Structure 1
Amino acid sequence: MATTTHLHLLTPTPPRIRPRRRGAMSVTVRSSLIDPDGGALVDLVSPPERRAALRAEAEALPKVRLAAVDVEWAHVLAEGWASPLRGFMREDEYLQSLHFNCIRLPDGKGVVNMSLPIVLAIGDRDKEEIGDRPDVALQGPDGGVLAILRSVYNYENYYWIEHGSFRIGMTSTWEICSLLSRIGDDLHVSDDEAIAQAGNWLIGGDLEVIEPIKYNDGLDHYRLSPQQLRNEFDKRGADAVFAFQLRNPVHNGHALLMNDTRRRLLEMGYKNPILLLHPLGGFTKADDVPLPVRMEQHSKVLEDGVLDPETTIVSIFPSPMHYAGPTEVQWHAKARINAGANFYIVGRDPAGMGHPTEKRDLYNPDHGKKVLSMAPGLEKLNILPFKVAAYDTVAKKMAFFDPSRSKDFLFISGTKMRAFAKSGENPPDGFMCPGGWKVLVDYYNSLQTEEAAVASV
């Protein structure tokens, strides 16, 4: 499964420092760690003095209502995680992303990785209302206007029409979100109704977000933009940043990996490598631990001293999850380039999920890390080779696996970890810090209490 104690790292080349380049609508990047894709960090949020005029303009425009996951993608685009992309993809960008996993730079010189299409699907009625209007107002789920999409280009959602089926690993979020709930039960993913929900048309254009997107869930202070992260790295004097994404609680095997990565970077000559602990904060499957619980657990890991707060930045990555395996892990790595990370940790079966009908991983668990080392457009990102971590039953702690005494090691998957917490059974001592484990147990106890209350009604 996607989260286990089998953790790896691998790298092609040492980092290089390149001169900064600037372009229109760009943000000055002071960090010397790594260039953003395209040389300039995209910022699509309008300045405060333009916001009243944009809201007034939006009143007269045709409107498209965004789903919650579309808002997450607008957030991703607005802050420059997908630099140099400047809005939802037009057809040429969509085709490049879908078939080549990369897009050409605006000047035509070179390509950047873009393995997941970021598109906006609309229905027939929306298309009729837009007509030949060049600009469209985008509303949030509550009806409030979030953005204006300019120089709109609409095109047929022919991927569904031509294929009529779901191809996991080659999808965009509008596909997976309309179908993912069905995958857990069966493989009826070419159902006509589900396909129709995706919308018959896609619209792309240049995005202008009226103000920073907030969720008002008590976690917005964790949602640092790529520019804010670069500023923080500069403030801390980082000469290397290594990013670690996860969508599950942090156990001591993860911590061992992160702490040892810092040790290795120090041995390589870096003076102050900083860890970016960067949990995914967008759409996830219903059985994943919810974001608020994960963030509380992560804070306990720092409070208990498992990770050093002085050399660790905890921030939320706002992207939705596709569970698209080796295709998606490229997106996760590419986005961290734009945030300034020049090292990326990749684990076993990144962005993976269990097969819906068989007891096995849906993707080959080693393909993610192999693809990252070969993916076009990711050459400037460094990934370090690493060993496997597991629970050492002799030392009573998480340790790097020693094949000479393999019988002494216990591999505890994310699924098994959650089963411990649900049943109230404690994991072996040294598997997770006590404060972090209590957060998980309390969460699953609350679920059981809710289920019992519903059953009694």
Structure 2
Amino acid sequence: MATQAGFLVRFPQVAAQRSRDRAGAPARVGVAVRSPKGVGAARGVRCRASLIEPDGGRLVELVAPEEGGRREALRREAAALPHRVRLGRVETEWLHVLSEGWASPLRGFMRESEFLQALHFNAIRGDDGSMVNMSVPIVLAVDDAQHRAIEASGARRVALVDARDRPLAVLSDIEIYKHNKEERIARTWGTTARGLPYVDEAITKSGDWLIGGDLEVIEPIKYNDGLDQYRLSPAQLREEFARRNADATPSRDGLQKSSSSSSPIGRIHKSR
């Protein structure tokens, strides 16, 4: 790559022709030319690849902004909503995944169309028509009583709360649909055999209905286990990579100070 970059620097007309041939396609490699001090010194060429774009082209962050008092307003709204869905450990970790943009371009727990796309195609279609890999459905289950109560009231917004009934988020423009557990298990794991830990914990015993919608999370999810400072969000990681002028991160990089079980995706993967 360095040899090719040096060639293009020496012969800019070739680089210009290549640019025309690519018909305006975005550049994947940036070339910076540095001229060292001193007479007769060789010209140095440095190549650096930029970070790839988030799935869907934009990082979808769902945590309410601190500015303007939005978090407190959302907290009061969540506390006043008549319908609440209590989240367990796994559901809270999925809320964490969604809130920071790890599952971009999802804007909340899946509605039925997204759920079926993930099951049948291992991907979902973005707003721009592109397909984004999504092999594991990110859904939230409710039981029959919750389903009947929400449907009867015609509510379009529900509060998501933790085990101590503290508001975590508001789910808006909701859609409730049937939780086809056997199909979900079969298409996600390729088997319906008993004994799969995640299935036993998060699917088999969960409600027979799924509720999806747009999320607005009150504040960043914290676990208060001494590792929160190491759980950098995608936006924070991108800032750190840019600060270090890095385009690759070794597995033992300083950013990775905790084990995979300390991250939301790692913890969910471990439970599966």
Asked if TM exceeds 0.5, the reply is: yes
Residues 223 and 318 in structure 1, CA contact (< 8 A), matched pair in contact too: no
> Hey, what's the Cα distance between the residues in 1 that align with 2:248 and 2:134?
21
Shift of 1:322: 4.4
Gaps of 5+ in 2: 1-26, 30-48
Q: Does 1:213 align with 2:197?
A: no
> Hey, what's the Cα distance between the residues in 1 that align with 2:102 and 2:172?
20
Letter in 2 for 1:119: V
Residues 93 and 268 in structure 2, CA contact (< 8 A), matched pair in contact too: no
> Hey, what's the Cα distance between the residues in 2 that align with 1:139 and 1:125?
17
Secondary structure of the structure 1 residue equivalent to 2:73: helix
Secondary structure of the structure 1 residue equivalent to 2:56: coil
> Hey, what's the Cα distance between the residues in 1 that align with 2:171 and 2:239?
29
Distance 1:165 1:47, change over 3 A: closer
Shift of 1:107: 2.3
Q: Does 1:91 align with 2:112?
A: yes
> Hey, what's the Cα distance between the residues in 2 that align with 1:222 and 1:126?
36
Shift of 1:170: 5.2
Number of matched pairs: 218
Distance 1:205 1:176, change over 3 A: farther
Rg (Cα) greater in structure: 2
> Hey, what's the Cα distance between the residues in 2 that align with 1:50 and 1:180?
35
What residue number does 1:127 align with? 147
Secondary structure of the structure 2 residue equivalent to 1:153: strand
Secondary structure of the structure 1 residue equivalent to 2:78: helix
Q: Within 5 Å, which residues of 2 pair with 1:420-431?
A: none
What residue number does 2:50 align with? 32
Distance 1:55 1:165, change over 3 A: closer
Q: Percent identity?
A: 50
2:198 aligned to 168, 177, 185, which one? 177
Q: Within 5 Å, which residues of 2 pair with 1:8-27?
A: 17=28
Distance 1:230 1:128, change over 3 A: same
Q: Does 1:55 align with 2:75?
A: yes
> Hey, what's the Cα distance between the residues in 2 that align with 1:58 and 1:318?
26
Instruction: Give every structure 1 segment of 4 or more consecutive aligned residues whose post-TM-superposition deviation is greater than 4 Å.
Output: 163-168
The TM-score with structure 2 as length reference comes to 0.71
Q: Over residues 82-115 of structure 1, what are the superposed CA-to-partner deviations in whole Å (9 max), with x where a residue is unaligned?
A: 011110000010111111111111122x211111
Letter in 2 for 1:157: H
> Hey, what's the Cα distance between the residues in 2 that align with 1:50 and 1:93?
29
Residues 241 and 276 in structure 1, CA contact (< 8 A), matched pair in contact too: no
> Hey, what's the Cα distance between the residues in 2 that align with 1:45 and 1:92?
24
Q: Within 5 Å, which residues of 2 pair with 1:281-360?
A: 281=261, 316-322=263-269
Q: Does 1:68 align with 2:89?
A: yes
Shift of 1:276: 5.8
The TM-score with structure 1 as length reference comes to 0.44
What residue number does 1:241 align with? 248
> Hey, what's the Cα distance between the residues in 2 that align with 1:65 and 1:180?
16
Of structures 1 and 2, the one scoring higher in RCO (CA 8 A, sep 6+) is: 1
Gaps of 5+ in 1: 1-15, 19-30, 182-193, 245-254, 256-273, 282-290, 292-315, 325-350, 352-457
Q: Does 1:224 align with 2:235?
A: no
